[in-house]
Amino acid sequence: MYSVLIVEDNKKIQILNKNLLEQSGYNVRLAANLAQARWGIDESEPDIIVLDIMLPDGSGLDFLKDLRDENKDIPVLLLTALSASEEKVKGLKLGGDDYLTKPYDNEELLARIETILRRRHRATLKHGPLSINRDTQRAYIDGSDMLLSRIEYALLLLFAQNENKTLSAEYLYEGVWGMPMNKNAGALQFQISKLRKKIEPSGYNIATKREKGYLFEKA
């Protein structure tokens, strides 16, 4: 079941959207302002945020910018009563996934949420708290960016696509560097050592299998 955080100060719209989404199978939480939204995200990150742009304690666009500056990749659907196209463009440029202009049709709200989640699901590979976004080529643990290098990301993606399978050093090197390993095993070992430390908080490990290769598994 997907979780939705609705950030909306209009009580009537809050309840209408909450009932609509719960009837469609979503787990819904409410926030009437940005302070409550921040607290809600810190407590438990939702799968998607439905965010009103105009809120009593600030702009939803500033809140969105803060999320992206903090490397939080939570999908955001913007709701706005503003008709100015520059506000919509600004929201998308700041990292919003889509927007709806009030008043909107309930079925369109549901369709846009479903489309965003379906698109993100295809792009994202998840292993417990570890998520890998193939569109942005970034990886996260509990929503925090792991800040991987290009090589580390490529290695992690290969491992995550082959959980519990022993991958040879030659296979990994050719998959990441795009050439035969030859005498470059040390470079691979160095990168795996760095990646192994970075994934520790996720509860996963990269085990070395003597003379066989490496195994990505739960610790």
Mean pLDDT of 203-219: 94
Taking the whole predicted model, whether its pTM rises above 0.85 is answered as no
Q: What is the C-alpha separation between 132 and 212, in angstroms, rounded?
A: 26
Q: Enumerate the H helices of the chain as residue ranges.
A: 11-23, 34-43, 60-69, 85-93, 106-123, 150-160, 169-177, 185-199
105 contacts: CB under 8 Å, gap ≥ 6: none
pLDDT tier at 44 (50, 70, 90 boundaries)? confident
Mean pLDDT for the chain overall: 91
* pLDDT tens digits for range 128-149: 899 998 888 889 998 888 999 9
What is the average pLDDT across 169-178?
A: 93
Question: Which pLDDT value is given to residue 149?
Answer: 95
**Does residue 103 or residue 49 have the better pLDDT?**
49
Omega before residue 103 within 30° of 0, cis: yes
Supply angle C-alpha 33, 39, 45, rounded to 5: 110
pLDDT in tens, 179-199: 999 888 999 999 999 999 999
pLDDT band at 45 (very low <50, low <70, confident <90, very high): confident
Output DSSP code: residue 61.
H
Residue 80 has a pLDDT of 82
Q: Output the six-digit token pair for 156.
A: 């992690």
Task: Band the pLDDT of 125: cuts 50, 70, 90.
Answer: confident
Question: Quick count: other Cβ atoms within 10 Å of Cβ 169?
Answer: 18
| pLDDT range class, residue 171, cuts 50, 70, 90 | very high
Tokens of 40: 């809600």
Give pLDDT, residue 82.
Answer: 66
- From the CA atom positions of the chain, what is the Rg in Å? 21
pLDDT digits (tens, 9 = 90+) for 66-81: 998 887 889 999 998 7
Confidence of residue 205 (pLDDT cuts 50, 70, 90): very high
Q: What is the 3-state secondary structure (H, E, C) of 26-68?
A: CEEEEECCHHHHHHHHHHCCCCEEEEECEECCEEHHHHHHHHH
What is the set of domains in the chain, with CATH numbers?
3-124 (3.40.50.2300), 128-218 (1.10.10.10)
